[in-house]
Structure 1
Amino acid sequence: MSSPSAATASDTPPISPSSQTTTTGKATGGKAMPLDAAGITQKIIEMKSTPQGLTADEAKQRLATDGPNVIQAHEESRWKKLLSYFWGPIPWMIEIAVVISFFRHDWPDFFVIAGLLIYNASVGFWQDNKAANALAALKKGLALKASVCRGGEWITVDAADLVPGDLVKVNAGEIIPADLLLTNGAYLSVDQAALTGESLPVSKKEGDSAYSGSIARQGSMSGIITATGNNTFFGRTARLVASAGSKSHAEQAVLRIGDFLILLAAALALILVGARLCHDLASGTGWHWSEAGAIAQFVLVLLVASVPVAMPAVMSVTMALGALALSRQKAIVSRLSAIEELAGVDVLCSDKTGTLTQNKLTLQAPIPFGSAQPDSLIIAAALATQNNSTDAIDQAILKALPSADALNGYKQTDFVPFDPVNKKTVGIVQGPDDQTIHYAKGAPQVIARLCGISEDATDEQDTAYFGKVAELASHGTRALGVATSKDAGKTWQLSGLLPMLDPPRPDAAQTIAKSKQLGLSVKMVTGDDVAIGAEISHQLGLGEHLIKATDIFAKGTDPDKIPLDVAHAVENADGFGRVFPEHKFEIVKALQELGHIVAMTGDGVNDAPALKQADCGVAVSGATDAARSAAALVLTAPGLSTIVNAIVEARAIFERITSYVYYRIAMTIDIMFLVVIAYLAFGFQPLTAIMIVVLALLDDIPIMTIAYDHVKASPLPVRWNMHRIISFSSVMGIAALAQSFGLLLIGIWWMHTPALMSFIPLNPLLLQTMIFLQLAAGGHLLLFVVRTKGTLFRPPYPSLPLLLAVTGTQIVAVLLCLFGILVPALPWQMVVIVWIYVLIWMVILDGIKLLTNAIYARREKKSSELTTHILHR
């Protein structure tokens, strides 16, 4: 049996232009008319190609001449990117402080502040490149592939390696890799809405053009590449403007936090300047420009220290490392924001076949109807199949043939492939007696309609047919209907049913149980009958409340205006049967209407809208190019466990980011309020400008390693709760302020106690150094406190990279204080006292954290109980 519509890898595909004789030129509306046979041949000659495509050497030469088949977007040079880190509100503040220090000849401050400026730019540039390179490396695994004929043999290459003159083959579900002139094949339906705005797929035939970026919906054809890369229709018309893309919820939240800290710092700085002016005017000392410069410099440095300069870098490196961790678990992230979305997913809509089941169908005993025999039923189904198909159903049928030569004498002259709407395949076959017969196989309901059988019919055979389908479904067995037509498809005769069993994956039940523990609602989505889905769902512990998608989504339902009762029906269902592609999109929209964060799996072309609409679209293993392009997460291994592992990893990443946010807000509150209150209460400046700058450096250097920290992932979906974040951080910030202000009071009391002064002399300069050391040490100990919800004395303990980075930073801080580098030298006894003080406060802060979390937990429990009570009234 041969199948002309899909050549095997060893075939030599002759380019056989159609014998139709349409004229070349332009049609009305500017659309190109299809070329006739002579036109196709002439075009092949113009492209310097052959019926066997190009040789490997010719392709290599053209690739060197024409460049890769990619859209060459204009990218900023590395130098321009680096310079951009010196432009903006935050760099401007640091740069003004540098200029003021220069004109005041304050060289220590000048060099240290300039060093901070260079450090922040270097770290930002390095981390940005690191994240971009990591994502680019991951995306290489998503490179589109293409089937190309080189030297007469079909091979699979990256689409980027295609060149003009190559002969390629395009099948349903694939993205057309370059501009083509279609030269061979019966039929190709192409969705080119992204290029032309046409709402319906366009039928293509030999002599037509197909454009790069459009999607093959049905059929299979081959063609000669006429243009690649920027020379394609898409490349010439697309606006190649580099864009950073939309920000994720996490990035938006962190930016809002940054704005909050800057506004808070600015308000306190104004209070500080106002108090200083009032003091000088009241004392009658007058106003001097040198003093104005000193105040301006100090305020700018104070603002710089309060700005979360490390936030973008922490976000980038944490997300990038998370993406790398997910890739090791066979999940490739196509955009970094998907990680944060995954952490909040609370509803997972999963395909059945291949994800919850093994997708290893085995044919059971055939059930013939009429005069058909079991063996003839299998042969009929095989004749409605392409012999080189890799589809699981087709493979099961071909393996079940009664003998290796069962199809000898049959020649398949045409083939209509399966599509998600018609749900059947049709083979047009010339038999041993030269009679042409049509064979069809497909979903039982589709074959029944083909044969004129109705579910409401009372005919004995009709009743038996649907009764047998229901019986098989009740045991989780899938049925495939088979029909035959001897009059060119005008009338069809039912041949029978082929039962097929696709057992659940061995790990599926355990994975679903784990999903429920993680607070996920898993809903099965299947094109099979509800009864089949319900049986598999029962075996996996998902629940048996499956509903037909057509029962809740009326024809013509507007996805943007889904009724509330429909949305609640979707929410309450355990799964959906007889799902068509448009239903997946409507299911996602309905769940999102009720505030759920939805992950949807898919593998086909028609799944792309749903994958794009979902908060986290997941292309499962073996998905089409169109599905992979639309998805945020692409799985390279089968099964649901990979998704669940990815969700756990995403929640861990979320915890790392939030622990940094808690720490950063708390430390800003501590430093800013300490400086302002100390000056207003005692007229004392607890930190010099250079101390604040060095503190900013010491804080930022080790914080990058938080991306490697050990965390306990939340057992439930997580979302950004700004009220909780600000309030908890404020509580910890005020507690940290009490620690710092307490040391200031102890220092002032020490200086006024002769007995203590005779033991270790202390002056205001040394007190500044003590506070500097307390903030450096206490800040990182505060990070250890807020990084977990439980006590810091129990797992998870800090990771080795974070622990080593903090330890190294503290050693540097102690050496600066002992040897008087950039700060007044502090006696070693005072260093020991400060460290004992901060360690005691670490325990106190841990207790405050536990108490605060307990109060929050109690409030959340009461709120949840109240909500439940209201819903059940």
Structure 2
Amino acid sequence: MSKAGGDDLEKADLNSVYATLKTSTKGLSKTEAANRLQKYGRNAITEKEESALRKFLRFFWGPIPWMIEAAALLSALIGHWADFAIISLLLLYNAIAGFWQERKASNALAALKAGMAPKAEVLRDGEFTTIDAAEVVPGDIVRIKLGQVVPADVRFVGGDSISIDQAALTGESLPVNKKIGDLGYSGSIAKRGEMTAVVIGTGRNTFFGRTAKLVAGAGRGPSHSQKAVTQIGDFLIALCLFLALFLVGSELYRDIVIAKDWHWSDVLDILRLVLVLLIASIPVAMPSVMTVTNALGALTLSKKKAIVSRLEAIEELAGVDILCSDKTGTLTKNQLTLHDPQLFAAEDKATLIQAAALASEPDSDDPIDKAVFAGLGDKKVLDTYRADKFTPFDPVSKRTQAQVTDSSGKTLLFSKGAPQAIAALCKLSGDTADKADACVSDLAARGLRALGVARSEDQGHSWSFLGILSLEDPPRDDSRQTITRARDHGLQVKMITGDDVAIGKEIASQVGIGTNIRAAGDLFSKNQDMNHLPARVVDCVETADGFGRVFPEHKYAIVKALQGRGHQVAMTGDGVNDAPALKQADCGIAVSGATDAARAAAAIILTAPGLSTVIDAIDEARKIFERIINYVLFRVSMTLDIMVVVVFATVFFGFPPLTPIMIVLIALLDDVPIMTIAYDNTLVPSKPVHWQMRQLLLGASIIGLFSIAQSLGLLLIGMEWLGNPQWQSWIPLSKDQIQTVVFLQIVAGGHLLLFVVRARGAFFSRPWPASRLFGAIVGTQVLTVLMCGFGWLVPAIPWAIIGLVWLYMIAWMFVLDLVKRILYRHQQKSTYARGEKS
């Protein structure tokens, strides 16, 4: 539906609102309400959900799943059922693990729906009745009391006043006082007073519902890590197809042209060769290893008070270069405190605060009242007064008033409220009025809230202007240090708040963010397409230190604008208003005490207050990213090694150097230490880290080429051994045993390569391998040696040959380490040079 009457109803006079909605202060009849429910729909957020089966089947679609599925199909076609079972189980495990993590991830729309008020009091047929909030329609007259949730977007039409907390929607840190004609947002909560209101918008056409639309439309598509896995898969598929065509072409040429002895049974032999190559080319465990590594990293982050709800967000967090932080409760304490008071007629500071306390409501939840009582030096002084009458804050007069009797029996009146209202009450003029105005302007410029206090000793006939209290929500004690840490980590921090620009500028200055705080409303027009912002606006977003008076669509637009400039953006938030931006951000972070909607939309949920936990999480995320990069370097290098050696030996020596079961064993033996890489010790990069696929694949390919040289060198030595009678008389070897030699070299040499690629310097430099990784590698090496020595699952080879192979691999380990260090040095220089040009 369209909002009844459109956005004009938010600003039109009440008579026009009644006329447009065809209603009155008497409300609707039940019949008319039922008709409108049919016309406008239920006052609820509905969304189209993808079936669980469809979500699950998506995990069988993509480059790496295709490769695994092709290998499983070929295994079944040629009757290799053991290979088929192992490959199918790995494929199923990857799908189940991914589906489970996605199921646990953000479901912001469900949380938003749960946030709708379950019940509402509506005026139907002349009587107030309680109905489900989902049945409220435009034109209904609703009654809203203390503690109730506003069920729809409304305009207040009756009653004295009401104070509603809409912080979760707009980001304002204090409850907002409403009077007749004011607008109330769906999902806000009444904190004081009672009023009636006319409903002007329901469901998706409320402020709350438009936020839900943004959440539904938000999202970045595949994460950087998912794109990286796809690119790695594409690279390996292309190489596999090239080598498979070369292998099949060579075999066909040999059988048809040279041997001239072609039989259809030869197809089975060719399929076996292709199967060996396909199994060799698939990084079968790559999705599983990345999932497990991230999951173990998530466990570590949970100990740092950061709960991960979307695993790939860990890698996104490692690359974040802009952190958009909300103000209240994250950078500040979310607790108003009294600042330096400005004295006028008051004798001293204590007298001024005491007067303000007498004009406040004891045990009130109002943050201003709490701040005033907290500022009292001696609360017992209030016991000398008897409270006779208290008038709560009135949005028309903009002040509170209390009548008390002191210990001598004298009646006194005290009032506190907006300085302009208190000044008018006291009839200030001349220099005193100018001084008060200057004081209020100065406080506003510094981002402080001003509160005037007055006293009357003659039943309110004349008032004395005692002074002005200033209030602030002070920065957290660790905020400035945390901002400094963030900058040291290569992060730019932008503050985003629903409060006024002056307040934002003051806090941003105090914590060290900067003073270039822009009003979001000045940058983004109301009907602007937030997905296609002008370059001028994006430039302002990129250079600003923060934004004030921010609405949900502004936060979303800020994130989109920064992402459009190539930034990886983390966004912190705690309210419904933050949900769209949290979902759109590369890494949405729900801070401590966040609403269900914010937690559901976020990828990481903090359980400790402040930003320091975010920086701790970034440290851990960068470690995790480094471990995954180490795995990818190892896996791609080894995959290249196995594929090329298999094709080379098959084409030029006429036999495959590895059997299918050997390749499966290699995968299983590799994955034991690889799973422990999540515990490995790594250096923490000082700057954001990203998937630089060109450099990564180039580096892995170069290391892979030298690994190929290592394996082919040993294979050539083995073939020479077969044809050398002198060597055969010393230690006889068969072709089957040569396969075992190659198997030993690839398993053991691969694990030594893991020691090489995990270190950015020499492999023997700090940080040394974690005990779990080292123990896993040693354990698998001992098992591999025993398998080769005793002939478990592979043909046995002499122990002397095992010793010679190990000497050969250790020598190559130093060669590979030298290649790696030269490669890193060259890549660092080229990256720096590109940065200089840009």
TM range (shorter): 0.7 to 0.9
- Alignment deviations for residues 428-486 of structure 1 (CA, whole Å, 9 cap, x no partner): 768579x9x997857xxxx6699899xxxx98566534543465578x77333348999
**Deviation for aligned residue 1:145:** 12
Question: Are 2:768 and 1:797 equivalent residues in the alignment?
Answer: yes
After TM superposition, list the pairs within 5 Å mapping 1:554-703 onto structure 2.
556=526, 558=528, 559-576=530-547, 583-703=554-674
Question: Are 2:246 and 1:286 equivalent residues in the alignment?
Answer: no
Question: In the alignment, what sits opposite 1:410?
Answer: 389
**Deviation for aligned residue 1:250:** 0.6
After TM superposition, list the pairs within 5 Å mapping 1:106-255 onto structure 2.
110=80, 112-117=82-87, 119-121=89-91, 123-124=93-94, 127-128=97-98, 131=101, 135=104, 185=145, 190=150, 201-202=153-154, 216-217=187-188, 219=190, 246-255=221-230
Determine if contact 1:604/1:624 at 8 Å carries over to the other structure: yes
Pick which of 835-844 and 316-325 moved more: 316-325
Question: In the alignment, what sits opposite 1:154?
Answer: none
**Cα separation, 2, equivalents of 1:257 and 1:535:** 48
**Deviation for aligned residue 1:218:** 5.2
After TM superposition, list the pairs within 5 Å mapping 1:9-408 onto structure 2.
23-27=29-33, 30-31=36-37, 89-90=66-67, 92-102=69-79, 110=80, 112-117=82-87, 119-121=89-91, 123-124=93-94, 127-128=97-98, 131=101, 135=104, 185=145, 190=150, 201-202=153-154, 216-217=187-188, 219=190, 246-367=221-342, 393-400=368-375, 403-404=381-382, 408=387
**Deviation for aligned residue 1:411:** 3.9
**Deviation for aligned residue 1:693:** 2.7
- Which secondary structure state, in structure 1, belongs to the residue aligned with residue 572 of structure 2? strand
**Deviation for aligned residue 1:395:** 2.0
**Deviation for aligned residue 1:579:** 5.4
Q: How many residues align?
A: 729
**Cα separation, 1, equivalents of 2:772 and 2:73:** 35
Seen in structure 2, the aligned counterparts of structure 1 residues 530 and 124 have a Cα distance that, compared at 3 Å, is closer
**Deviation for aligned residue 1:270:** 1.5
Determine if contact 1:479/1:497 at 8 Å carries over to the other structure: no
Please tell me the residue identity of whatever aligns with 1:546.
N
Seen in structure 2, the aligned counterparts of structure 1 residues 177 and 411 have a Cα distance that, compared at 3 Å, is farther
Please tell me the residue identity of whatever aligns with 1:120.
L
Please tell me the residue identity of whatever aligns with 1:703.
I
Determine if contact 1:351/1:602 at 8 Å carries over to the other structure: yes
1:841 is aligned, of 805, 812, 822, to 812
**Deviation for aligned residue 1:813:** 2.1
Gaps of 5+ in 1: 1-18, 34-69, 103-109, 147-158, 168-175, 193-200, 207-212, 223-233, 417-423, 487-491, 868-873
Determine if contact 2:599/2:605 at 8 Å carries over to the other structure: yes
Seen in structure 2, the aligned counterparts of structure 1 residues 608 and 374 have a Cα distance that, compared at 3 Å, is farther
- Which secondary structure state, in structure 1, belongs to the residue aligned with residue 689 of structure 2? coil
Determine if contact 1:97/1:301 at 8 Å carries over to the other structure: no
**Cα separation, 1, equivalents of 2:827 and 2:366:** 53
Determine if contact 1:188/1:204 at 8 Å carries over to the other structure: no
**Cα separation, 1, equivalents of 2:308 and 2:397:** 35
TM-score normalised per structure 2: 0.74
- Alignment deviations for residues 36-64 of structure 1 (CA, whole Å, 9 cap, x no partner): xxxxxxxxxxxxxxxxxxxxxxxxxxxxx
- Alignment deviations for residues 367-389 of structure 1 (CA, whole Å, 9 cap, x no partner): 36689997897578669977555
Seen in structure 2, the aligned counterparts of structure 1 residues 189 and 202 have a Cα distance that, compared at 3 Å, is farther
Determine if contact 1:320/1:336 at 8 Å carries over to the other structure: yes
- Which secondary structure state, in structure 2, belongs to the residue aligned with residue 796 of structure 1? coil
**Cα separation, 1, equivalents of 2:186 and 2:254:** 73
Please tell me the residue identity of whatever aligns with 1:27.
A
Seen in structure 2, the aligned counterparts of structure 1 residues 429 and 505 have a Cα distance that, compared at 3 Å, is closer
Seen in structure 2, the aligned counterparts of structure 1 residues 595 and 799 have a Cα distance that, compared at 3 Å, is same
Seen in structure 2, the aligned counterparts of structure 1 residues 643 and 866 have a Cα distance that, compared at 3 Å, is same
**Deviation for aligned residue 1:653:** 2.0
**Cα separation, 2, equivalents of 1:561 and 1:466:** 43
Seen in structure 2, the aligned counterparts of structure 1 residues 282 and 81 have a Cα distance that, compared at 3 Å, is closer
Question: Are 2:675 and 1:704 equivalent residues in the alignment?
Answer: yes
Determine if contact 2:505/2:516 at 8 Å carries over to the other structure: yes
**Deviation for aligned residue 1:637:** 1.3
- Alignment deviations for residues 626-675 of structure 1 (CA, whole Å, 9 cap, x no partner): 43344333222111101111111222222222222222211121111112
**Deviation for aligned residue 1:856:** 0.5
**Deviation for aligned residue 1:853:** 0.6
Determine if contact 1:357/1:502 at 8 Å carries over to the other structure: yes
Please tell me the residue identity of whatever aligns with 1:611.
L
- Which secondary structure state, in structure 2, belongs to the residue aligned with residue 31 of structure 1? helix
TM-score normalised per structure 1: 0.71
**Cα separation, 2, equivalents of 1:73 and 1:593:** 28
Pick which of 606-615 and 579-588 moved more: 579-588
Question: Are 2:526 and 1:553 equivalent residues in the alignment?
Answer: no
**Cα separation, 2, equivalents of 1:71 and 1:390:** 40
Determine if contact 2:56/2:95 at 8 Å carries over to the other structure: no
Question: In the alignment, what sits opposite 1:58?
Answer: none
**Cα separation, 1, equivalents of 2:399 and 2:357:** 9
**Cα separation, 2, equivalents of 1:427 and 1:119:** 71
Determine if contact 1:330/1:642 at 8 Å carries over to the other structure: yes
Gaps of 5+ in 2: 1-24, 40-46, 122-130, 137-141, 159-168, 170-184, 195-208, 406-410, 457-462
**Deviation for aligned residue 1:731:** 0.9
Seen in structure 2, the aligned counterparts of structure 1 residues 779 and 539 have a Cα distance that, compared at 3 Å, is same
- Alignment deviations for residues 84-130 of structure 1 (CA, whole Å, 9 cap, x no partner): 99x9744543444443443xxxxxxx354145235425643674587
CA RMSD of aligned residues (A): 5.0
Seen in structure 2, the aligned counterparts of structure 1 residues 31 and 495 have a Cα distance that, compared at 3 Å, is farther
Determine if contact 1:359/1:392 at 8 Å carries over to the other structure: no
Determine if contact 1:265/1:306 at 8 Å carries over to the other structure: yes
Determine if contact 2:56/2:96 at 8 Å carries over to the other structure: no
Seen in structure 2, the aligned counterparts of structure 1 residues 368 and 301 have a Cα distance that, compared at 3 Å, is same
After TM superposition, list the pairs within 5 Å mapping 1:764-803 onto structure 2.
764-803=735-774
**Cα separation, 2, equivalents of 1:250 and 1:385:** 55
**Cα separation, 2, equivalents of 1:538 and 1:643:** 21
Question: In the alignment, what sits opposite 2:714?
Answer: 743
Question: In the alignment, what sits opposite 2:701?
Answer: 730
Seen in structure 2, the aligned counterparts of structure 1 residues 115 and 351 have a Cα distance that, compared at 3 Å, is closer
**Cα separation, 2, equivalents of 1:323 and 1:92:** 30
Please tell me the residue identity of whatever aligns with 2:90.
N
- Alignment deviations for residues 136-170 of structure 1 (CA, whole Å, 9 cap, x no partner): 7x999x99799xxxxxxxxxxxx89x999999xxx
Question: In the alignment, what sits opposite 2:790?
Answer: 819
**Deviation for aligned residue 1:276:** 0.8
